[in-house]
Amino acid sequence: MKIVNYLIYILLVLPGSLLARDDAAGAESGWFNPDTWPTLIISVISILVVAYTIIAARRGKAVKLRAIPGLKAVEEAVGRATEMGAPILYTPGYGGDIQRPTTIASMNILSSVAEKVAEYDCRLIYPTHDPVIMAVAQEVVREGYTRIGYPDRFRPDDIFYISSSQFGYAAAVDGIISRDRPASIFLLGTFEAESLILAETGNSIGAIQIAGTDSTIQLAFFIVACDYTLVGEELFAASGYLSQNPSILSSVKAQDILKLIIALFVIVAVIWATVDPLSSWWRY
Protein backbone atom coordinates (compact mmCIF):
# COMPACT_ATOMS: atom_id res chain seq x y z
CA MET A 1 0.00 0.00 0.00
CA LYS A 2 2.84 2.38 0.90
CA ILE A 3 4.45 1.67 -2.47
CA VAL A 4 1.17 2.50 -4.26
CA ASN A 5 0.93 5.83 -2.41
CA TYR A 6 4.50 6.62 -3.32
CA LEU A 7 3.88 5.79 -6.98
CA ILE A 8 0.81 8.04 -7.01
CA TYR A 9 2.95 10.82 -5.58
CA ILE A 10 5.67 10.35 -8.19
CA LEU A 11 3.32 10.01 -11.17
CA LEU A 12 0.60 12.52 -10.32
CA VAL A 13 1.37 14.87 -7.45
CA LEU A 14 4.99 15.66 -8.32
CA PRO A 15 4.35 16.64 -11.96
CA GLY A 16 1.62 18.97 -10.74
CA SER A 17 3.97 20.68 -8.31
CA LEU A 18 6.60 20.88 -11.02
CA LEU A 19 4.21 22.63 -13.39
CA ALA A 20 3.43 25.20 -10.71
CA ARG A 21 7.07 26.38 -10.55
CA ASP A 22 8.06 29.67 -12.18
CA ASP A 23 10.66 29.28 -14.80
CA ALA A 24 12.11 31.67 -17.33
CA ALA A 25 10.45 30.29 -20.45
CA GLY A 26 12.57 30.29 -23.57
CA ALA A 27 11.35 31.22 -27.01
CA GLU A 28 10.50 27.62 -27.91
CA SER A 29 8.00 26.18 -25.48
CA GLY A 30 6.75 23.22 -27.48
CA TRP A 31 7.59 19.60 -26.79
CA PHE A 32 10.40 19.79 -29.34
CA ASN A 33 12.75 22.75 -29.71
CA PRO A 34 13.58 23.01 -33.44
CA ASP A 35 16.92 24.75 -32.67
CA THR A 36 18.23 21.43 -31.38
CA TRP A 37 17.69 19.53 -34.66
CA PRO A 38 21.43 19.29 -35.52
CA THR A 39 22.27 17.96 -32.04
CA LEU A 40 19.43 15.45 -32.28
CA ILE A 41 20.56 14.18 -35.68
CA ILE A 42 24.16 13.76 -34.52
CA SER A 43 22.99 12.09 -31.30
CA VAL A 44 20.73 9.65 -33.14
CA ILE A 45 23.48 8.74 -35.61
CA SER A 46 25.89 8.16 -32.71
CA ILE A 47 23.42 6.02 -30.80
CA LEU A 48 22.61 3.97 -33.91
CA VAL A 49 26.30 3.34 -34.59
CA VAL A 50 26.89 2.26 -30.99
CA ALA A 51 23.79 0.05 -31.08
CA TYR A 52 24.88 -1.53 -34.36
CA THR A 53 28.34 -2.39 -33.02
CA ILE A 54 26.93 -3.81 -29.78
CA ILE A 55 24.45 -6.02 -31.70
CA ALA A 56 27.19 -7.12 -34.10
CA ALA A 57 29.46 -8.00 -31.15
CA ARG A 58 26.72 -10.00 -29.46
CA ARG A 59 26.20 -11.92 -32.69
CA GLY A 60 29.78 -13.05 -32.49
CA LYS A 61 31.61 -10.54 -34.67
CA ALA A 62 35.02 -10.20 -33.05
CA VAL A 63 36.53 -6.78 -32.35
CA LYS A 64 40.29 -6.51 -32.25
CA LEU A 65 42.06 -3.62 -30.59
CA ARG A 66 45.63 -2.67 -31.40
CA ALA A 67 48.13 -3.03 -28.58
CA ILE A 68 48.09 -0.11 -26.16
CA PRO A 69 51.57 0.05 -24.57
CA GLY A 70 50.39 1.79 -21.40
CA LEU A 71 47.88 -0.93 -20.64
CA LYS A 72 50.27 -3.73 -21.57
CA ALA A 73 52.65 -2.27 -19.01
CA VAL A 74 50.18 -2.62 -16.12
CA GLU A 75 51.34 -6.14 -15.37
CA GLU A 76 54.98 -5.07 -15.57
CA ALA A 77 54.30 -2.17 -13.18
CA VAL A 78 52.61 -4.38 -10.60
CA GLY A 79 55.32 -7.00 -10.92
CA ARG A 80 58.03 -4.39 -10.37
CA ALA A 81 56.37 -3.14 -7.21
CA THR A 82 56.09 -6.70 -5.90
CA GLU A 83 59.76 -7.41 -6.57
CA MET A 84 60.86 -4.23 -4.86
CA GLY A 85 58.49 -4.71 -1.94
CA ALA A 86 57.23 -1.21 -2.56
CA PRO A 87 53.63 -0.02 -2.82
CA ILE A 88 51.75 1.07 -5.93
CA LEU A 89 50.23 4.53 -6.04
CA TYR A 90 47.12 5.08 -8.12
CA THR A 91 45.42 8.45 -8.25
CA PRO A 92 42.60 9.76 -10.45
CA GLY A 93 43.74 13.39 -10.44
CA TYR A 94 42.10 16.49 -9.15
CA GLY A 95 39.94 17.61 -12.05
CA GLY A 96 37.15 15.03 -12.17
CA ASP A 97 34.05 14.00 -10.30
CA ILE A 98 32.60 10.50 -10.39
CA GLN A 99 30.09 11.60 -13.06
CA ARG A 100 32.90 12.38 -15.48
CA PRO A 101 33.46 9.65 -18.12
CA THR A 102 37.23 9.95 -17.62
CA THR A 103 36.87 9.06 -13.95
CA ILE A 104 34.68 6.08 -14.85
CA ALA A 105 37.30 4.97 -17.37
CA SER A 106 39.94 5.29 -14.64
CA MET A 107 37.80 3.12 -12.34
CA ASN A 108 37.77 0.41 -15.01
CA ILE A 109 41.55 0.35 -15.10
CA LEU A 110 41.64 0.45 -11.28
CA SER A 111 39.50 -2.69 -11.22
CA SER A 112 42.03 -4.50 -13.39
CA VAL A 113 45.00 -3.17 -11.39
CA ALA A 114 43.28 -4.21 -8.15
CA GLU A 115 42.98 -7.81 -9.41
CA LYS A 116 46.68 -7.94 -10.22
CA VAL A 117 47.64 -6.28 -6.95
CA ALA A 118 45.51 -8.79 -5.04
CA GLU A 119 47.18 -11.63 -6.88
CA TYR A 120 50.70 -10.40 -6.09
CA ASP A 121 49.80 -9.26 -2.55
CA CYS A 122 51.10 -5.78 -3.14
CA ARG A 123 49.99 -2.61 -1.38
CA LEU A 124 47.77 -0.27 -3.39
CA ILE A 125 47.59 3.34 -2.18
CA TYR A 126 44.74 5.37 -3.67
CA PRO A 127 44.55 9.01 -2.56
CA THR A 128 41.76 11.12 -4.01
CA HIS A 129 40.30 14.61 -3.77
CA ASP A 130 36.63 13.53 -3.88
CA PRO A 131 34.83 11.53 -1.17
CA VAL A 132 32.43 9.95 -3.66
CA ILE A 133 35.32 8.75 -5.80
CA MET A 134 36.89 7.37 -2.61
CA ALA A 135 33.73 5.42 -1.79
CA VAL A 136 33.41 4.03 -5.32
CA ALA A 137 37.11 3.17 -5.48
CA GLN A 138 36.87 1.26 -2.20
CA GLU A 139 34.07 -0.84 -3.66
CA VAL A 140 35.87 -1.33 -6.98
CA VAL A 141 39.08 -2.47 -5.30
CA ARG A 142 37.24 -4.66 -2.79
CA GLU A 143 35.40 -6.36 -5.65
CA GLY A 144 38.67 -6.82 -7.51
CA TYR A 145 40.26 -8.54 -4.53
CA THR A 146 37.18 -10.70 -3.99
CA ARG A 147 37.03 -11.76 -7.66
CA ILE A 148 40.60 -13.08 -7.49
CA GLY A 149 39.88 -14.86 -4.22
CA TYR A 150 41.81 -12.72 -1.76
CA PRO A 151 39.24 -10.54 0.03
CA ASP A 152 41.28 -10.68 3.23
CA ARG A 153 44.14 -8.80 1.55
CA PHE A 154 42.01 -5.74 0.91
CA ARG A 155 43.04 -2.69 3.01
CA PRO A 156 40.30 -0.02 2.97
CA ASP A 157 42.50 2.46 4.84
CA ASP A 158 44.81 2.68 1.81
CA ILE A 159 42.00 4.26 -0.22
CA PHE A 160 41.38 7.64 1.32
CA TYR A 161 40.16 11.14 0.80
CA ILE A 162 42.76 13.90 1.15
CA SER A 163 41.39 17.32 0.37
CA SER A 164 39.14 19.04 -2.15
CA SER A 165 41.79 21.71 -2.56
CA GLN A 166 43.93 21.19 -5.69
CA PHE A 167 47.31 21.91 -4.21
CA GLY A 168 46.46 20.49 -0.83
CA TYR A 169 45.79 17.27 -2.75
CA ALA A 170 48.96 17.70 -4.83
CA ALA A 171 51.11 18.39 -1.78
CA ALA A 172 49.68 15.38 0.04
CA VAL A 173 50.22 13.01 -2.89
CA ASP A 174 53.74 14.39 -3.34
CA GLY A 175 54.36 13.72 0.33
CA ILE A 176 53.12 10.14 -0.04
CA ILE A 177 55.35 9.63 -3.08
CA SER A 178 58.39 11.06 -1.28
CA ARG A 179 57.84 9.14 1.97
CA ASP A 180 56.38 5.81 0.82
CA ARG A 181 58.43 5.69 -2.41
CA PRO A 182 56.06 3.63 -4.57
CA ALA A 183 57.70 1.54 -7.28
CA SER A 184 54.84 2.15 -9.73
CA ILE A 185 52.58 5.14 -10.11
CA PHE A 186 49.33 5.27 -12.05
CA LEU A 187 48.13 8.75 -12.92
CA LEU A 188 44.86 8.04 -14.70
CA GLY A 189 41.94 10.44 -14.75
CA THR A 190 41.33 14.15 -15.09
CA PHE A 191 44.32 16.21 -14.08
CA GLU A 192 44.92 19.90 -13.92
CA ALA A 193 48.00 21.89 -12.97
CA GLU A 194 49.11 19.32 -10.40
CA SER A 195 49.91 16.79 -13.14
CA LEU A 196 53.55 17.76 -13.67
CA ILE A 197 54.14 18.21 -9.95
CA LEU A 198 53.04 14.61 -9.34
CA ALA A 199 54.75 13.19 -12.45
CA GLU A 200 58.09 14.88 -11.76
CA THR A 201 58.09 13.81 -8.14
CA GLY A 202 57.40 10.26 -9.26
CA ASN A 203 60.19 10.55 -11.82
CA SER A 204 62.60 11.82 -9.18
CA ILE A 205 62.18 8.63 -7.09
CA GLY A 206 62.61 6.42 -10.15
CA ALA A 207 59.09 4.98 -10.18
CA ILE A 208 57.59 3.52 -13.34
CA GLN A 209 54.73 5.80 -14.30
CA ILE A 210 51.65 5.09 -16.41
CA ALA A 211 49.51 8.13 -17.10
CA GLY A 212 46.43 9.07 -19.04
CA THR A 213 44.15 12.07 -19.03
CA ASP A 214 41.56 13.86 -21.12
CA SER A 215 43.33 17.22 -20.85
CA THR A 216 45.47 18.01 -23.90
CA ILE A 217 47.67 20.37 -21.85
CA GLN A 218 48.45 17.87 -19.13
CA LEU A 219 49.02 15.12 -21.71
CA ALA A 220 52.09 17.02 -22.89
CA PHE A 221 53.48 17.05 -19.32
CA PHE A 222 52.78 13.36 -18.88
CA ILE A 223 54.45 12.43 -22.14
CA VAL A 224 57.63 14.18 -20.97
CA ALA A 225 57.65 12.89 -17.40
CA CYS A 226 56.04 9.44 -17.54
CA ASP A 227 57.11 6.10 -19.01
CA TYR A 228 53.76 5.33 -20.65
CA THR A 229 50.97 7.71 -21.55
CA LEU A 230 47.48 6.86 -22.73
CA VAL A 231 46.64 9.49 -25.32
CA GLY A 232 43.11 10.66 -26.00
CA GLU A 233 40.58 7.87 -26.25
CA GLU A 234 43.04 5.12 -25.32
CA LEU A 235 41.97 5.82 -21.76
CA PHE A 236 38.35 5.10 -22.68
CA ALA A 237 39.30 1.99 -24.64
CA ALA A 238 41.02 0.60 -21.55
CA SER A 239 37.81 -0.84 -20.16
CA GLY A 240 37.30 -3.05 -23.20
CA TYR A 241 40.99 -3.73 -23.65
CA LEU A 242 41.47 -5.07 -20.14
CA SER A 243 38.16 -6.89 -19.71
CA GLN A 244 37.81 -8.09 -23.35
CA ASN A 245 34.05 -7.72 -22.78
CA PRO A 246 32.45 -7.81 -26.30
CA SER A 247 29.84 -5.13 -25.51
CA ILE A 248 32.47 -2.70 -24.29
CA LEU A 249 34.89 -3.53 -27.12
CA SER A 250 32.11 -2.88 -29.60
CA SER A 251 31.62 0.65 -28.29
CA VAL A 252 35.33 1.27 -28.88
CA LYS A 253 34.74 0.22 -32.47
CA ALA A 254 31.77 2.60 -32.56
CA GLN A 255 34.12 5.42 -31.54
CA ASP A 256 36.32 4.64 -34.53
CA ILE A 257 33.36 4.57 -36.91
CA LEU A 258 32.13 7.90 -35.61
CA LYS A 259 35.62 9.36 -35.95
CA LEU A 260 35.62 8.23 -39.57
CA ILE A 261 32.26 9.89 -40.15
CA ILE A 262 33.53 13.12 -38.56
CA ALA A 263 36.72 12.98 -40.65
CA LEU A 264 34.70 12.52 -43.86
CA PHE A 265 32.45 15.39 -42.87
CA VAL A 266 35.48 17.64 -42.18
CA ILE A 267 37.04 16.77 -45.57
CA VAL A 268 33.79 17.43 -47.44
CA ALA A 269 33.18 20.67 -45.52
CA VAL A 270 36.75 21.92 -46.09
CA ILE A 271 36.54 21.23 -49.83
CA TRP A 272 33.06 22.78 -50.05
CA ALA A 273 34.09 25.86 -48.02
CA THR A 274 37.20 26.29 -50.21
CA VAL A 275 35.19 26.06 -53.44
CA ASP A 276 32.27 28.11 -52.15
CA PRO A 277 33.44 30.40 -49.31
CA LEU A 278 29.95 31.88 -48.89
CA SER A 279 28.35 28.55 -48.11
CA SER A 280 27.27 27.90 -44.52
CA TRP A 281 25.45 24.56 -44.44
CA TRP A 282 28.38 23.05 -42.55
CA ARG A 283 28.26 25.67 -39.82
CA TYR A 284 26.56 24.87 -36.55
Partner 1 sequence: MERLKIRWIIFAGLLLVVVVSYLIDFRFGSRPSPQVQKCYDYIESLPDSAVVMISFDHEASSLPEIQPIALALLRHAFRKDIKIIGLSLFAEGTAIGYRLLNKVAGEYGKHYGQDYVFLGFKPQYISAILGLGESIRDVFPEDYLGRSLDSLPFMDNIISYEQVAMVISIADGDRTVHWIEYGNARYGQEIMAGLTAAMITSYDPYLASGQLFAVVGGLKGAAEYESLLGQPGKGGRGMLAQTSAHIYVIILIIIGNIIYFRNRSRQGRG
Partner 2 sequence: MATRLPLAICFIFGLVMFLQYFSGHPLARAAYNHILDWWQIIFAFTLLVGVAAFIKSSLRKTQVKKDAPYALIALAGLILMPLLAVIDGTDIDSPFLWAFENMLAPLQATVFSLLAFFVASASFRGFRARSVPAAILLGTALVVLVGRVPLAESISELFPKVTFWIQNYPSMAARRAILIGIGLGSMTTALRVILGIERTYLSGE
Q: In the window 188-217, what residues touch partner 2 (CB under 8 A)?
A: 193, 196-197, 199-200, 214, 216
Q: How far is CA 279 from the centre of its chain?
A: 38
CB of 66 to partner 1, least distance (A): 27
Longest Cα–Cα distance in the chain:
69
* Out of 9, 61, 72, 101, the residue judged to bind partner 2 by CB under 8 A: 101
Q: How far is CA 117 from the centre of its chain?
A: 20
The residue (of 73 and 193) whose beta carbon lies closer to partner 1 is: 193
Distances (CA, A) of 203 to 2, 10, 80, 227, 230: 59, 55, 15, 9, 17
Binding site for partner 1 (CB under 8 A): 22-24, 95, 164-167, 192-193, 204, 215-217
* Out of 225, 227, 229, 241, the residue judged to bind partner 2 by CB under 8 A: 225
Q: Does residue 119 touch partner 2 according to CB under 8 A?
A: no
Binding mask 128-167 for partner 2 (x = CB under 8 A): --xxx-xxx--xxxxxx--x---------x--xxxxxxxx
- Contact residues for 154 (Cβ-Cβ < 8 A; gap 6+): 118, 141, 142, 145, 146
Q: Binding partner of residue 95 among partner 2, partner 1, none, CB under 5 to 8 Å per kind?
A: partner 1
- Helix-, strand-, coil-residue percentages of the chain, each rounded to 5: 65, 10, 25
Q: Does residue 30 touch partner 2 according to CB under 8 A?
A: yes
- Contact residues for 103 (Cβ-Cβ < 8 A; gap 6+): 92, 96, 97, 133, 189, 190
Task: Find residue 159's DSSP bridge partners.
Answer: 126
- Would you say 125 and 87 are in contact if contact means Cβ atoms under 8 Å apart? yes
Q: Binding partner of residue 67 among partner 2, partner 1, none, CB under 5 to 8 Å per kind?
A: none
The residue (of 14 and 83) whose beta carbon lies closer to partner 2 is: 14
Q: Which of residues 39-78 bind partner 2 (CB under 8 A)?
A: 39-40, 43, 46-47, 50, 54
Q: Does residue 98 touch partner 2 according to CB under 8 A?
A: yes
Q: Does residue 179 touch partner 2 according to CB under 8 A?
A: yes
* Out of 12, 23, 62, 67, the residue judged to bind partner 2 by CB under 8 A: 23
